[in-house]
Structure formats: C-alpha cells, structure tokens
A and B are shown apart, each in its own frame.
Chain A
Amino acid sequence: MTVPATTAGPPLWDEIAVPAQEFARTVVRGTAGGPPAPGGATGPAEGGRFAGLFGSARADGSVVLRAAIARYGRLDVVTTVVPATVVGGDAGYQALTPAVPGAAWYEREIADMFGLLPEGHRRVDPLVLPRPSEAAPPRPGSPVPMLAVTPDEAYLPAHVSGEGIFTIPYGPVRSGVFESVQYLVETPGEDIPHVRARVYHKHRGLERRFQGLSALDGVLLAERVEGVASVAHALAFCQAIEAIASANGLVPPGALLTRSLHAELERIANHLDSMVRHAEAAGQAVAYARFSWHKERVLRLRARLCGHRFGRGVVVPGGVSAGPALAPADARAELAALEVDLRSDADLLMGTSSFIDRLRGTGVITAEVAAARGALGPVARASGSQEDLRNYRPYAAYGLIKVPEHRYRISGDALARQLVRLEEIWGSFQLCRLALEGLAERSADGPWAAPLVTTDGTGWGWAEAPQGELLYLVEVEAGNLKRVKPRSASFHNLSLFPEAFGGDIFTDFAFIEASFGLSIAGVAG
C-alpha cells in the first residue's frame, strides 16, 4: 500500500507482508545497504536503517509484528503474523538481533508486552515490565482487559562477575531533580567498564491506555508520553491519523507553519536543557544561571504563543487548534533578542577550557557503532550521520521552509554532541524566523485546521523530535484508537548508552547522560 504523496503532507511508507519464516531474512536484507542516504543521479539510494519492531495483539491471540526500516524519502514496513499457537512458546519468531544488533531492546520489550519470545536472541531479559510469572502480558491491541501488575525486580537477572568487580545501583531515586531510572554500574572502583539501564520503574502502561480513545483524546495522551517533547509526539500521532484519513495534503499551510514553529521552539528548549545540565555538571555556576534563564525565556515565549509552556494543545488532527496568539513580529523580536544573548553565552562557554576539557573525548560513540546500532538524533549526527527527518522524510512545513545546512560531527564524544546541538539551535532560530515570516504573510484568521473524519486503517507518523526520530504506529478501528505504539528516540538511544563508557570514569557519568539528552518517560512507556 502506498499513500499518495502530496506537496505538504508526510511522505510515504510501503508495507511488505511476508510469512513468519521469511520475516527475519527480509528485515536483514532490507537493512543490508548501509544507512539511508540521499540518492545520486541514478535514483534513490537503497540504504536502510532498522527503526524499530512493533507488535499488535489481535483478538484471536495472534500477534502482528512490524519491522520499520527507515530509508531516504520513505519508510518500509515488513509485516508478518505470528499465529496464536506459537505465541507464548519458546520460539515465537526468529530473532533479528543476531544480524541487526539495534533490535535487541525491541525484542526484549515485545517479550515483556506480548509474552512473545524470539528464537536465537542471546538473552531476553525483562526490560519495561519484569512480570511476575503468574501475571499475563499486557498484549496492547487486544480487547481482553488487563489486570493490575506490579513490576518485580526479582524477575531481573543479577549478573556480576570478575575479581573485585562490584555493582553500584545508581537510582531509581538519584541525587537531583531527575526522572526515575536505575543504572547498574559495574565497576572495580573508578573506571566504568559496564553500565546497564533499568527503566521499568516508570512504566505506565500507556499503550493500553490509548486503546478505545478517540483521536482527539489520543493527542492529549500522546503529548504526555514524553512531556518534554509534547509537540513532536502530537505531530507524529496526528500525522498518522491524517495519513490514515488520506487528509495529509489538506492541512492548511498556516497550520503547517505553526506546527513547525512550535516544534523548533521545543527543539531549542530541549537542547538548552542539555546545555544547562552540562553547565551544572561542570560546576559552571554563571553558565548554569544564564542558560537556565534562556531556557525559561523559551518556555515563556511558547506560553505567550499558545497558552502552554510545553506547547500542549497546539497540534490537533487536521491542523492546529489556533494560530499564534502573539503577533509574528513580536515573536520575531523576542527570538532575535534571545539569539543575541545565547550566541554570546555559547561562545563564552565553548571557549572556557575548564568546561571543554570535561567534554572532549568523553562518552565516545564511534561512527561504526552509531551506524551498526542505528543511533538517532544528535547522538547520531555527532557520530558521522547526516540523517534528519526534516530533510530525509519532510513533514509539517519542512517542505515549504528549508532546514539550513548543518555542520555535523564525527568524533562522537560529548563535545561533538553539544556542538551539534548548538548548530541545531541556530538552525531552529532560522526556521522559527522563516515560519513567522510565512505566518505574517497569511491571514491571522486562518484557516487553522482541515475538517477531518477519523477513518479506519493503519498508519505511520513521524517527527524529528529534539531527541531524534520519533515514530508512531496507529491503528484505528470503528473510529477509535485500537493500537497506538509510540517509539521515542530515547528508547532507541538508551540502548546505546552502555556503549559510550569505554574508559570513562564516574565523574564523566553526568556529562555522558546529559549529552544523550534522553527522557525516561519515553523509554518506559
């Protein structure tokens, strides 16, 4: 099935249905061509990146598995049905992990959520929901009600070995105002040879909560999957709903510009949050104060534009709820003043050697690892990738306003990730300017949304969230949501987090974590 391309709507996805025994082979073949890249003169390049494994339970007990392969200009989806007779057995489907290392966490998640085990995965430890053995899996998509379940640490493996090695459980309640997550740091004392992340504490069962909601209520929940990236989540969700209703080309241009404006402000706020955390970790008190003030200014500007500091309630299926409440010229003036202050502070901070020393060479993700594991967002773009959905699979207004050329990095350390973030902040300022210019040319009375009737079907939506590629699988049945699976970039990137600890010591931990810039809410689901 190919969704017709439109000038402004999200581009296409192709669904390829295969029998269960062909599934793994098809996915491996689909990702064999290396990372996605723009095509040359001969046509589109065939590179593909494994972008996630999505399950949907059906009423008859079977599970539909979908593997997403991100390409330049489109998303390929390999689909198969695992019959009810093998779900729950030892070998539900052939594991992707041996050939596609990026699939490891997805297969663990699917084992937790569906009780569906891959054959050939080295170790399917619980991840988002260590279930007591008597508890049934949640099986999102299934109409069978789910009973309350309490995750139990006892179902997680404890494996520490080696002379003098001990494990420090860091979290889930950590020093500072953080989201709850536990890092198990296995260490002989000072080095960190290995880190494992435990994310189940925050598991909220959101995938089941989506079931039965209307699309309009679904947006409200999508905004709360990963609260710091509300706009990106609402965007990806709504684009999926619009694509299913074949309405992706109907969203008014003013609404597209407003969507991009809020998405870029969200990117600036998130990247600034990362800078704040770096400054705090390095003990740069003035930089901490300055950058947290700048971040506050961005949140306040968003509140003046839409009434909410996180841009919630802006994106609705079919468009946006209203145009900016602030005159475009006023918003531009405020952004310009902020950019001047920010550039000067960023120049000073990036020229402060006691700060740079903490970042350089810290938490390296090599280009090879990033490519093999399919790293996303600023983490990938600091390790040799050029991929940015705003260019690769444009959505919202990114067909109308061009993302400026960015200078990405290859060294893959915390410094490179921060330089990429700064580069993206300047790009976002430019995009905000262009969006506001476009809005100023248009009538302030709209139209802001196309009338949209939710139709049944299965669709995909995506957005380049500040953390990286965000994917939404949405199934609509009888006008309501049947299955929604958000796949946040935080989930994918957190699986790479342990790779960043080659030769780093305890005091580097805060920098590495801040430079990944993840939200645990989006990981735990």
Chain B
Amino acid sequence: MPWVTRGLRNGVLTSPYPRRPDGYGADWRGAVSVRPQVGAAAGRSAKELCPTGAIGQDAGGGVVLDRGKCILCGRCVAARPDLFGFDPSPEVASPTRAGLVVPEAEENDGALAEARADLGQRVRALRRSVHVRHVDAGSDGSEEWEIAALLNPVYDVHRLGIFFTASPRHADLLLISGAGSAGMAGPVRTTYEAMPDPRVVVAVGTDAASGGMVSPTYATRGGVGDLVPVDVWVPGSPPSPFSILHGILLAVGLIPERKGRR
C-alpha cells in the first residue's frame, strides 16, 4: 500500500519529447558540429586532432566530421573552437551511414531519399506500436544502460507504443550495440533471421557504426554494419536515451529527420 502513494509523490516526471523539445541537453554533448569555414586550408591540420580518424576533408578541402567515428572526446573542440563546437541537440540519428558525416553533403540527398522511401514502405505497419529487441554485439556496457533508461519514468517509451520484448520472434525492431565482436556475429545473425517481416535494425552508438575507439582489433568487425543490414544509425559514445529514442522514432517514421546538420 505505501507504494501507491510513493508512486504519486513526485507527480509526472516524464519528458514531453518528442511532442515538444525537452529542455535537457544544454549541458550535455549531443554531437560535434563543424562551423562554417572561412578558408579551405583551415582544416588540413585538424585531422591530427582526432584519436579515431573522424575528421577528414571533402573534395573542396573543407573540414568534414564523421559522427559515426566520433567518440565525443572533445579534443577537437578544445583545440580548434574556430572549426568545431558541441551541438546539444540529441537528434543525431540518420537513415544512412553517409548521413552521419557533417556538414551534410548535397550529393547524399538522392541516396537519403531512397533509403527513407524504402524504410517508409517497410515500417508502415509499425507506426502505432513497435516491439523492440536489443542485442549486444560487443559493447562496453554503457549502451545497455542508456537503452534500459528508455523504460524509466523520465523517458517512459511505453507512452509512445514502444515495448521491449524478450523474444526476437515478437520483435519488429532490433537495437544492436557494440563494435561487432566476432563472437557475436553468429548470434546477431540468428536473432535477425528469427524476426518476422517487416523488420528494422537500429545501430546504437559510435561503436556500432564504426568500432569507434575499440576497432580495429583482431576480434571486432569495425561496427555492426557487416553483420546485418542497418536501417538507422545513432552515433554517440554512448548515445543518450533521447538520441536512441530519436533513432527508434526515425526508424518507424514517427519523426522527421533533422535537416541541415552541420
């Protein structure tokens, strides 16, 4: 009985996201963004700053940053605040791997539209309610915390019709975390194949996108992209629960993609 009143004690704790933006995030690194550049030559030395090789140059010599490799260590932001900054928005997921590169390249638009249309076709049946299964393919353990956090009263994804299920046979959506350890390649494949159609795969975290700081090693595959076809990529090391939620909502077509990423 005392638990009933206890459950009411603090009122509603749940975030208004995605209906309204959540204020939380201003003091947290959502992603690294690239500032508009003054001169093309500015970026040549910037490459050296990154421990995971996320910083590169586009054809025009401008600085680009692959969020799929970025582990948010902040070294580039500290050393070159003229080129890099933290973007507090947690809406960082993208339906293509190339879409994680900022600033967004124009030539990606065709591929993006195609990926989006294909995904939209498949997930039409999942918009009201989606059942989620998670598999760890060599994570560091923190992604599991952030995924499990989706069930706490703050994020409470049940309100959005998102449910976690024990069996892949009941799952529509597969969340995969981790750098793609060789020992999990088989189990991940088996889990994916056990799911009924239509099925959607969301890669959770920078490790899942590229291996991040962990790869390359003899026992990892540089992310989970080689294990199963991935529909949505969520960068972050680990991504915050809001980012993971954004990835899930994007996968089932309940939220538009954030445009104009820098």
Contact = CB atoms under 8 A, between A and B. Distances in A.
Interface stretch (A240-248, A253-261, A304-312, A445-453): A304-312
A149 B219 contact: yes
A372 B190 CA distance: 41
Interface in B208-231: 212-220
B28 A309 contact: yes
A307 B28 CA distance: 5
B143 A227 contact: yes
Interface in A335-359: 341, 345, 348, 352
Contacts of A202: 136, 138-139, 178, 181, 183-184
A307 B217 contact: no
A224 B140 contact: yes
Interface in A143-174: 146-151, 172-173
Nearest to A273: B145
A173 B184 CA distance: 9
B3 A179 contact: no
B153 interface: yes
A233 B141 CA distance: 13
Given A227-B141, A348-B2, A221 B167 contact: no
Contact of B3 (A150, A225, A286, A309): A286
Interface stretch (B70-78, B105-113, B119-127, B248-256): B70-78
A307 B218 contact: no
Interface in A174-206: 175-180, 200-206
- For B51, B143, B212, the residue with the greatest tally of chain A CB atoms inside 10 Å of its CB is B51
Given A204-B220, A206-B217, A221-B214, A228 B51 contact: no
Contacts of A121: none
B17 interface: no
A365 interface: no
Interface stretch (A93-101, A287-295, A405-413): A287-295
B238 interface: yes
A289 B153 contact: yes
A520 interface: yes
A338 B206 CA distance: 31
Contacts of A425: none
B6 A204 contact: no
B79 interface: no
Nearest to A146: B218
Given A180-B137, A307-B27, A221 B187 contact: no
- For A138, A293, A312, A521, the residue with the greatest tally of chain B CB atoms inside 10 Å of its CB is A521
A387 interface: no
Interface string B130-153: 000011111111111111110111
Contacts of B166: 175-176
Q: How large is the interface on B (under 10, 10 to 19, 20 to 34, 35 or more residues)?
A: 35 or more
Contacts of B183: 150-151, 172, 200-203
Contacts of A200: 183
Interface string B159-196: 00000101110000000001101111101001100000
Nearest to B142: A227
Contact of B219 (A129, A176, A216, A287): A129
A209 B214 contact: yes
Contacts of A172: 183-184, 187
B94 interface: no
Nearest to A175: B166
Contacts of B86: 307
A490 to B, nearest CB: 9
A303 interface: yes
B51 A220 contact: yes
B135 A220 contact: no
A179 B145 CA distance: 10
Nearest to A199: B183
A422 to B, nearest CB: 17
B240 interface: yes
B154 A296 contact: yes
Interface in A416-463: none
A62 interface: no
Contacts of B29: 307-308
A312 B217 CA distance: 22
A313 interface: yes
A214 to B, nearest CB: 9
A203 B181 contact: yes
B135 A180 contact: yes
A230 interface: yes
B13 interface: yes
Contacts of B24: 300
A521 B51 contact: no
Nearest to A130: B183
Contacts of A151: 182-183, 219
Contacts of A295: 149, 152
Nearest to A135: B218
Contact of B148 (A177, A216, A300, A312): A177
B51 A204 contact: no
A498 to B, nearest CB: 21
**Shortest Cβ-Cβ A-B pairs, 6 listed:** A227-B140, A227-B142, A175-B166, A205-B217, A292-B152, A205-B219
28 contacts: A146-B218, A150-B183, A151-B219, A173-B190, A173-B191, A177-B164, A180-B184, A200-B183, A201-B184, A205-B217, A206-B217, A208-B218, A209-B215, A209-B216, A217-B51, A220-B51, A220-B71, A220-B73, A221-B214, A286-B7, A296-B149, A307-B74, A307-B86, A308-B72, A309-B238, A309-B240, A310-B142, A521-B141
Given A129-B219, A148-B218, 10 more contacts: A180-B136, A216-B51, A224-B213, A287-B3, A289-B152, A292-B149, A292-B151, A293-B152, A313-B73, A522-B141
